[in-house]
């Protein structure tokens, strides 16, 4: 997938980074706490993915002229700005990292490789109605998986299940934005719009407002 830095609106931006390209970049911009977290990651590839995601956030923030505040994780693993302003989400996978920032609204972003096995795994993250409209195509099933992960990250609570609590409205490969909602939780009836992009075997999804 092509790397990019995109201003979505005056309040929101995203960046996709190629991890090889940022491997030589410095980490001076990280907060003290983030530098400690970074130092504690022992797996070299995971370390570069973690760093790539933070460089992606920094680029997204630069794009809307905001300083990098440093981020901390809550008890669910979701990151928040240390200065309390705005919302962030990040994702990283083999070779790529991406992040999205919004000044006012929660956000979720996810990157996934298209894999044949996602169709077989369908019953673990889809209900029967979703399985019926998605069919057996790995691309559209990966989009469904990724969109649910983006909604999951946007809402942020661990107990929410992709299969039982996140519903997608029917969509096709023609759709650029799809919709979904969280149901059967105390935060039911939250509705989400998810932007879909794919290139070759990579799918990117992120929530939009
Ligand atoms: C947390 C989860 C969304 C991470 O997704 P992933 O595909 O493994 O990894 P990604 O690279 O896309 O995202 C990782 C980032 O998600 C973020 N994250 C972790 N927990 C989060 C949460 N509760 N809310 C929001 N974001 C979260 C972190 O920033 C993390 O990056 P970091 O470790 O560098 O800080 C995923 O593991 C998960 O729990 N999914 C939903 C649960 C589920 O139902 N799974 C099984 C269904 S079969």
Query: pLDDT tens-digit profile of 43-100?
Result: 999 999 999 999 999 999 999 999 999 999 999 999 999 999 999 999 999 999 999 9
Rounded to 5°, the CA angle 74-72-106 comes to 65
The pLDDT value recorded for residue 107 is 97
Give the C-alpha separation, 159 to 91, whole Å. Answer: 20
How sure is the predictor about 4, in pLDDT bands with cuts at 50, 70 and 90? very high
The pLDDT value recorded for residue 188 is 67
The answer to whether 85 touches 69, Cβ cutoff 8 Å, is: yes
113 is written with which tokens? 């490789």
Give the C-alpha separation, 122 to 131, whole Å. Answer: 7
Q: What number does the ligand 1 atom closest to the CA of 121 have?
A: 48
The pLDDT value recorded for residue 23 is 85
Whose structure tokens read 């923030």? Answer: 61
Choose among 7, 12, 22: nearest CA to 56.
Answer: 22
The pLDDT value recorded for residue 45 is 94
The answer to whether 206 touches 14, Cβ cutoff 8 Å, is: yes
Whose structure tokens read 């005056």? Answer: 10
Distance 153 CA to ligand 1 centre (A): 7
| Ligand 1 pocket member 164 (CB < 6 A) | no
Give the C-alpha separation, 202 to 187, whole Å. Answer: 31
The answer to whether 172 touches 183, Cβ cutoff 8 Å, is: no
The residues spanned by each domain of the chain are: 4-107, 111-208
The pLDDT value recorded for residue 151 is 97
The pLDDT value recorded for residue 46 is 95
* Closest residue to atom 37 of ligand 1, CA basis: 149
Say if residue 202 is exposed, middle or buried (CB neighbours under 10 Å; 0-12, 13-18, 19+). Answer: buried
The mean pLDDT value of the chain amounts to: 96
Give the C-alpha separation, 172 to 134, whole Å. Answer: 8
Q: Find the DSSP H helices in 99-208.
A: 117-120, 122-125, 128-134, 138-155, 162-165
The pLDDT tens digits of the residues spanning 125-179 come to: 999 999 999 999 999 999 999 999 999 999 999 999 999 999 999 999 999 999 9
- The enclosing H or E element of 194 equals strand 190-199
Q: What percent of the chain has pLDDT over 90?
A: 93
How sure is the predictor about 186, in pLDDT bands with cuts at 50, 70 and 90? confident
From the candidate CATH numbers 3.40.50.620, 3.40.50.720, 3.40.50.800, 3.90.470.20, the one assigned to the domain spanning 4-107: 3.90.470.20
Choose among 186, 114, 175, 178: nearest CA to 151.
Answer: 178
| Ligand 1 pocket member 92 (CB < 6 A) | yes
The pLDDT value recorded for residue 68 is 97
Q: Which of 149, 151, 205 to mutate to test the pocket of ligand 1 (most atoms within 8 A of CB)?
A: 149
The pLDDT value recorded for residue 185 is 86
pTM for the full predicted model = 0.97
């Amino acid at each position: 997938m092509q790397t990019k830095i995109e201003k979505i609106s005056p309040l929101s931006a995203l960046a996709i980074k190629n991890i090889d390209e940022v491997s030589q970049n410095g980490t001076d911009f990280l907060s003290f706490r983030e530098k400690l977290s970074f130092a504690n990651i022992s797996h070299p590839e995971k370390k570069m993915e973690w760093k790539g995601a933070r460089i992606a956030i920094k680029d997204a923030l630069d794009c809307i002229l905001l300083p990098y505040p440093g981020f901390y994780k809550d008890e669910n693993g979701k990151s928040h700005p240390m200065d309390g302003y705005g919302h962030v989400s990040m994702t990283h996978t083999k070779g790529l990292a991406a992040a999205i920032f919004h000044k006012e609204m929660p956000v979720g972003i996810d990157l996934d490789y298209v894999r044949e096995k996602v169709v077989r795994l369908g019953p673990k993250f889809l209900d029967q109605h979703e399985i019926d409209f998605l069919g057996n195509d790995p691309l559209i099933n990966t989009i469904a998986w990724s969109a649910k992960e983006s909604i999951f990250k946007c809402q942020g609570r661990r107990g929410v299940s992709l299969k039982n609590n996140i519903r997608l409205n029917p969509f096709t490969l023609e759709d650029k934005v799809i919709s979904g909602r969280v149901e059967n939780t105390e935060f039911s009836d939250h509705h989400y719009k998810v932007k879909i992009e794919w290139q070759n075997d990579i799918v990117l999804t992120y929530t939009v407002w």
